[in-house]
């Protein structure tokens, strides 16, 4: 099992549903977290993305020299950058960090935020774009090890004589992670990614979903790794843990829940 932590690029909260007791994001705090989890032997850190966050690539790059073994799970956003640029960024980061970058494919779920980024694709179209984007991205990095160029003409994206001169350390490319539960998402995962992620849903639901992904990947001659994202409360006893959980959600009310569901 590989355990990851989290860099709070949108600030850190003491309680859910309120800014009471919250801490504003700054580089010193992010560095403190990165150094601590690196020293404790964690595999890596997830770096979130979105307009409420500091940029994940710049944040991750700023922490390379502060850490030794820690890996950085950085967002790959189809539509926000071109796949060729994203491939160069991934290869450069991998080289500068001595093979410590992982990519988290994020297709986006907030329609308003996507429009703010200039993306006006519906759900199905976003996944068509993502499939072509990751195809180009992977081919850039795979062929960089042999110096080959390639041409790809898709429905959404195209490149001609594309070539990446400086290959990543990790071969054939830095591992690609992704999470999504729709049919389009599962199809994309089975065909393109290396690690499939799920939220901490009921165990039976997680088992069923992973079985579907595994079967689809197998049909394509592929085998994936799997991960789950959980928020964990650890105390000496169950009673103390439940008390901490109650304190964590003490400011959550119906209006806060409704606002979160509307996003």
Average pLDDT of the residues of the chain: 93
pLDDT digits (tens, 9 = 90+) for 207-242: 999 999 999 999 999 999 999 999 889 999 999 999
User: At residue 262, does pLDDT exceed 70?
Assistant: no
Of all residues in the chain, what percent carry a pLDDT higher than 90?
75
pLDDT at 162: 95
User: At residue 114, does pLDDT exceed 90?
Assistant: no
Q: Which residues make Cβ contacts (< 8 Å) with residue 228, sequence separation at least 6?
A: 197, 198, 199, 200, 206
pTM above 0.85, yes or no: yes
Which CATH architecture best describes the domain 4-262?
Answer: Alpha-Beta Barrel (3.20)
What mean pLDDT is predicted for residues 111-123? 80
pLDDT digits (tens, 9 = 90+) for 161-193: 999 999 999 999 999 999 998 999 999 999 999
Q: Of the candidates 112, 111, 104, which has an alpha carbon nearest to the alpha carbon of residue 57?
A: 104
pLDDT at 263: 55
pLDDT digits (tens, 9 = 90+) for 62-77: 999 999 999 999 999 9
pLDDT range class, residue 59, cuts 50, 70, 90: very high
Q: Are strands 44-46 and 4-6 parallel, antiparallel or unpaired?
A: parallel
Q: Which residues make Cβ contacts (< 8 Å) with residue 72, sequence separation at least 6?
A: 44, 45, 47, 60, 63, 64, 93, 97, 100, 101, 102
pLDDT at 261: 66
Helix (H, G, I), strand (E, B) or coil at 211: helix
Strands (E), 195-235: 195-199, 225-229
User: At residue 99, does pLDDT exceed 60?
Assistant: yes
């Amino acid at each position: 099992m590989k355990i990851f932590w989290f860099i709070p690029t949108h600030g850190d909260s003491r309680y859910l549903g309120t800014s009471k007791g919250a801490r504003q994001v700054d580089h010193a705090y992010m560095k403190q977290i990165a150094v601590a989890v690196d020293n404790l032997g964690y595999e890596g850190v997830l770096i979130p993305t979105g307009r409420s966050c500091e940029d994940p690539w710049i944040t991750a790059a700023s922490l390379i020299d502060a850490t030794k073994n820690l890996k950085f799970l950085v967002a790959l956003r189809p539509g926000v950058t071109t796949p060729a640029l994203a491939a160069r960024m991934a290869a450069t980061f991998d080289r500068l960090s001595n093979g410590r970058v992982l990519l988290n494919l994020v297709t986006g779920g907030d329609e308003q935020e996507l429009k703010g980024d200039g993306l006006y694709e519906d759900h199905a179209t976003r996944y068509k774009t993502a499939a072509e984007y990751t195809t180009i991205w992977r081919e850039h990095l795979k062929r960089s090890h042999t110096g080959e160029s390639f041409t790809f003409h898709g429905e959404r994206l195209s490149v001609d004589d594309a070539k990446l001169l400086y290959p990543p350390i990790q071969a054939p490319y830095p591992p690609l992670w992704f999470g999504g539960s729709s049919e389009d998402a599962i199809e994309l995962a089975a065909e393109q990614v290396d690690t499939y992620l799920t939220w901490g849903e009921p165990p039976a639901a997680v088992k069923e979903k992973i079985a579907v992904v595994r079967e689809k990947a197998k049909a394509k001659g592929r085998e994936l790794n799997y991960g789950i994202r959980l928020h964990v409360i650890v105390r000496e006893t169950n009673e103390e843990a439940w008390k901490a959980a109650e304190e964590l959600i003490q400011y959550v009310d119906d209006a806060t829940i409704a606002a979160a569901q509307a996003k």
